[in-house]
Chains A and B, each alone.
Chain A
Amino acid sequence: MDFLNAIILLLNYIFVPALAYGSQLALGAIFVTLIYGILRFANFATGDMMSFGTMFAILFTWYFQSIGISLGVLPTALLAIPFAIIFMIGYMLLIDKFVFKYYRVNKSPPVQLAMVSIGVMFVTQAVVRIIIGPSDRRFFDGEKFIIKAGEFKEMTGLNEGLAIKSTQVLTIIVTLILVSTLFWFLNKTKTGKSMRAYSDNEDLALLSGIDPKKIVMITWIIAGILATIGGALYGLDKSFKPFTYFNNMLPIFAAAIVGGIGNPFGAFLGGYVIAFSEILLTYAYRKFFMYVLPESMEPGGLVQLLSTDYKFAVSFSILVIVLLYRPSGIFKGKVL
């Protein structure tokens, strides 16, 4: 019985939250890695692009709520996301046309493109804050929990409760659907294959008749979809605040590099690596050991490896270690 309790405890405080957080990071990391692989620069505007898409999702949610449309138990935001994606893709293509295209055509070094993306970051951040403001926004509606901690306790008779939020399940399901569609697209369709070819060797791809304009456009479209959905899911699960989104850029970068930048599957797994290590290393295991160990050996302290203040620092340290020992990432991305 105690052993079961211990497992439920870990499920409730580590496994489920880390899985949801990891999915959100994974979507962002695939976004970074796609831009890096095909457009060949580190996009510092990642976090703000995600907040831009989320902003439209929120605006549409508010609009639907005001005219009385809802999805019942599901959040209205799900209905708003497709419309937000359209606006987001428009914005992405607009930025590409007026900003990034010039440097791509001139074959500027990647560093210059990264600097340009900082300019885009400033502008996007300003636009988001001017339109929706810098404060915390919650736009979740519908049923909040799938299983509540109390109900779970009653059902099973255990001491520990397991609470699963509907947003967590939603995040995981949507991520899985989206990522498997993306991999199917990249591996099975002709356009996807030409994208991978372009990422692998630009000159060879151009020689074999692949249209670079089309590749770039499709990349931005996929990136827009990923950024909007990833951002909206994060906002539904936690809350929307432009500053947090900007900060999320850092663990997302860490996930992309840990997984091997330029490699979408690596980025997907990298998201979970970062999320799990952040939560595993900063969780206080005292209660877990109280269940597992006999009473005489109960630990005195919190049994916490690192205080939760260092949550971000954990993922960055992992990144530094990976960069040192395996610069191409765990799953072999582009070699530095």
Chain B
Amino acid sequence: MRKNLNVIAAYSIMMGLIILVGIFQSWNIALSIFNLCLISAVMTMGANIQWGYAGLINFGIMGYTALGGLAAVLISVNPVQEAWSAGGSNILFSLFLIIGMVLVVRYVLKKYEKSKTRTYIIATIIILGIIIIRFVSEPGIEAIEEIEPAKTGFLGGLGLPIIFSWIVGALFAGGLAFVIGKVALGLRADYLAIATLLISEIVIAIIKHEDWLTRGVKNVIGLKRPAPYEVNLQQTDWFINLVEKFNSSKLNLISDFAERQAALNQFVIEGSSIFVKLCYSGLFLVVVIILLILTQKALYSPWGRMMRAIRDNEEAANAMGKNVVKQHLLIFVLGSAIVGIAGAMLVTQDGLFTPGSYRPMRYTFLIWVMVIVGGSGNNFGAILGGFAVWFLWIEAAPIGLYLVNLTTAGLDDTHALKVHLIESVPYFRFLMMGIGLLLIMRYRPKGILPEKIEIK
């Protein structure tokens, strides 16, 4: 109990802060912060597995998040029948061609010794393949994008409940990570960082511009929900009764019937959106807890010890007969899959998929700040980092505004400097993140909750 005191203290402070937001701003804001904190926590757990357990830098988090989001679209949206009949066969045929191309390249790689000729043959196969695939897919893509471009213009998905996409998102992200890992994991740390950052940009470029698959920058809106809709809730009897019971003390103060009914309506509307958010919180909490149990188990298992051994001294681990390359690939895939789950969760919560919103600042670097600040190698630390940094990211604007008002209190309200500063309040969050990261790196390089390995 004693040794976990700092963990409990840190989490109580965090919860207390969110409750304070609930009391002073509104419960709606507090809950939406809490939900995004949970999603961030899942992302940081993914990044933490790679960085904390194995020392692999992955700056491609944005790419996996976006793939998870894409999974949510492809699973939950109803299939667009006209588009399938217009261009589906072309797309399927191109898919077969791609698979065929990969198989041929694999065959060439296996069959022949490494030589210049082999490289040229592979290059020719790939270039020819791309040209043939473009030839085949072009008419299909055009046909698909022409079908009601304002509403659909893409193939749609499978029409399944969106919750399945959390698993599929993990598979997508894991698959991408497998390919990237095969290609890039041999690189030294900072090159790996740059390579993954650039590859994630390529993924985003594809998602943004392949309209037949993702609708691109036209966005997909109105995705299915795992939680009830507010409008439906507001008309259900049991929910109205529940809200009435909750607020009975306030409602009893109002004697007039019409006024009481109006107040009740207000409570029901507020309550419905809080209820929906609570549903999401419950779902997300289940994911976070399952992942936490699994990652904790992994950390203290022989496998976790081996990962730390590889991280701390690759050569020694190699000499002990551990397959470093294979384990690196495995952990790279696992961590990325977890980030993919988070991406699908994020789109599920928002109910919309906007490829244009995926930017490295928010989805890669911010997650890294969370991991470093929270404590790399420690799952509780990573989750705490997700909570604390996201909380600060959202509340930075009010804090910044307060600070600006405090420091410029002596100035007139129309003073140019004051107006300018108040306009630029949104950017104080970058400043706080940067200074926070620099201070933590300098004075507490292992994070708020540092890695602590107990030998049981």
- Once A120-B438, A129-B427, A133-B424 are accepted as A-B contacts, the answer to whether A42 and B194 lie under 8 Å apart by CB is yes
Task: Assess the A115–B372 pair: CB atoms within 8 A.
Answer: yes
B106 part of interface (Cβ distance < 8 Å): no
Q: Which has the most chain A C-beta neighbours within 10 Å: B190, B205, B361, B431?
A: B190
A324 neighbours in B (Cβ, 8 Å): 183
Chain A residues with Cβ below 8 Å from B199 are 316, 320
Within 8 A of B (CB), among A291-336: 307, 309-310, 312-313, 316-317, 319-320, 323-325, 327, 336
Known: A41-B190, A126-B427, A320-B195. A118 touches B368 (CB 8 A): yes
- How far is the CB of B450 from the nearest CB of chain A, in Å? 15
Rounded to whole Å, the gap between the CB of B25 and the closest CB of chain A is 24
27 contacts between A and B (CB under 8 A): A102-B442, A109-B189, A110-B189, A111-B189, A114-B57, A115-B372, A118-B365, A121-B365, A121-B434, A123-B438, A125-B361, A126-B429, A129-B424, A246-B361, A253-B197, A253-B198, A257-B194, A310-B205, A312-B202, A313-B206, A316-B198, A319-B195, A320-B183, A323-B184, A324-B183, A325-B119, A336-B188
For A129, what are the chain B residues with a Cβ–Cβ distance below 8 Å?
A: 424, 427, 430
Of A130, A134, A254, A323, the residue contacting B428 (CB under 8 A) is: A130
A120 and B361: CB pair below 8 A?
no
Min C-beta distance of A74 to chain B, whole Å: 31
**Number of A residues with CB within 8 Å of any CB on chain B:** 44
Which residue of the partner chain, among B205, B209, B438, contacts A99 with CB atoms under 8 Å?
B438
B209 and A127 form a contact (CB under 8 A): no
Main secondary structure of the interface of B (DSSP, over half): helix
B434 A250 Cβ-Cβ under 8 A: no
**A binding-site residues for B, Cβ under 8 Å:** 41-42, 99, 102, 109-112, 114-116, 118-127, 129-130, 133-134, 246, 250, 253-254, 257, 307, 309-310, 312-313, 316-317, 319-320, 323-325, 327, 336
Report the minimum CB–CB distance from A172 to chain B (whole Å). 27
List of A residues within 8 angstroms of B329 by Cβ: none
> Is B224 an interface residue when CB atoms closer than 8 A count as contact?
no
- Shortest distance in angstroms between A92's beta carbon and chain B's nearest beta carbon? 16
Number of interface residues of B (CB under 8 A): 42
A253 to B433, CA, bound (A): 24
Question: What is the distance, in angstroms, from A330's C-beta to the closest C-beta of chain B?
Answer: 15
> Are A125 and B193 in touch, CB under 8 angstroms?
no
Q: Which of A102, A122, A312 contacts B205 (CB 8 A)?
A: A312
| B201 contacts partner chain A, Cβ-Cβ < 8 Å | yes
In the complex, what residue of chain A is closest to B197 when comparing beta carbons?
A250
Contact of A42 among B190, B421, B428, B441 (CB under 8 A): B190
In the assembled complex, the Cα of A324 lies from the Cα of B184 at a distance in Å of: 8
In the bound complex, do residue B202 and residue A317 qualify as a contact, i.e. CB atoms below 8 Å apart?
yes
With A118-B368, A120-B438, A323-B184: A309-B430 Cβ-Cβ less than 8 Å:
no
Contact B190 A115 (CB under 8 A): no
Chain A residues positioned under 8 Å from B365 (CB to CB): 118, 121-122
Tell me the dominant secondary structure on chain A's binding face.
helix
Bound: A125/B198 CA distance, A: 20
B187 within 8 A of A: yes
Q: Chain A: which residue is nearest B440 at the CB level?
A: A119
**Which 5 residue pairs of A and B lie closest in terms of their CB atoms, listed nearest first?**
A122-B434, A123-B434, A126-B430, A126-B431, A119-B437
Given the complex of chains A and B, what is the CA–CA distance between A313 and B365 in angstroms?
Answer: 20
Smallest Cβ-Cβ distance to A127: which chain B residue: B431
Give B205's nearest chain A residue, CB to CB.
Answer: A313
Pick the most buried of B184, B193, B445: most chain A CB atoms within 10 A of its CB: B193
Proximity string of chain B (200-226) to chain A, C-beta cutoff 8 Å, 1 when within and 0 when not: 011001101100000000000000000
Contact A254 B198 (CB under 8 A): yes
Q: Which residue of A lies closest to B371 (CB)?
A: A115
Q: Are A114 and B190 in contact, CB atoms less than 8 angstroms apart?
A: yes
Residue numbers in B under 8 Å from A130 (CB-CB)? 421, 424, 427-428, 431
Residues of B within 8 A of A119 (CB): 434-435, 437-438, 441
Q: Evaluate contact between A120 and B434: CB separation under 8 angstroms.
A: yes
**A310 to B207 Cα, complex, angstroms:** 11
Q: Which residues of B contact A112 (CB under 8 A)?
A: 441, 445
> How far is B23's CA from A163's CA once the two chains are assembled, in angstroms?
63
Q: Is there an interface contact between A118 and B201, defined as CB atoms closer than 8 Å? A: no
Q: In the complex the two chains form, is A323's CB within 8 Å of B202's CB? A: no
Minimum Cβ distance to chain A for residue B299 (Å): 21
- Kindly state the separation between the CA atoms of A261 and B91 in the bound complex, as whole angstroms: 41
- What distance in Å separates the Cβ of B393 from its nearest Cβ neighbour in chain A? 11
Nearest-neighbour CB distance to chain B for A300, whole angstroms, equals: 12
Residues of A within 8 A of B96 (CB): none
Contact between A336 and B191 (Cβ–Cβ < 8 Å)? yes
- The reply to whether the CB of B369 lies closer than 8 angstroms to some CB of chain A is yes
Q: A319 contacts B198, CB within 8 Å?
A: yes
Q: A111-B190, A123-B431, A126-B430 are in contact. Are A316 and B202 (CB under 8 A)?
A: yes
B423 nearest CB neighbor, chain A only? A133
Kindly supply a per-residue 1/0 record for chain B positions 115-152, scoring 1 wherever the CB is within 8 Å of any chain A CB and 0 otherwise.
00001000000000000000000000000000000000
A122 adjacent to B184 (CB under 8 Å): no
Tell me the bound Cα distance from A111 to B59 in angstroms.
12
Contact indicator A115/B368 (Cβ below 8 Å): yes
Once bound together, how far apart are the Cα atoms of A254 and B195, in whole Å?
A: 9
Give A319's nearest chain B residue, CB to CB. B198
Known contacts A129-B430, A313-B201; 11 additional CB pairs below 8 A are A41-B190, A119-B435, A121-B434, A122-B437, A123-B435, A125-B430, A126-B431, A129-B427, A130-B428, A133-B424, A323-B187
Q: Which residues of B contact A125 (CB under 8 A)?
A: 361, 427, 430, 434
C-alpha gap A163/B433 in the complex (Å): 45
A102 CB contacts on chain B under 8 angstroms: 442
A126, A133, A307, A316: the one contacting B201 at CB < 8 Å is: A316
The answer to whether B194 touches A118, judged by C-beta atoms less than 8 angstroms apart, is: no
A249 to chain B, nearest CB (A): 9
B438 proximity list for chain A (CB < 8 A): 99, 116, 119-120, 123
Question: Contacts A115-B372, A116-B441: A253 and B194 contacting too (C-beta < 8 A)?
Answer: yes
A246 to B362, CA, bound (A): 13
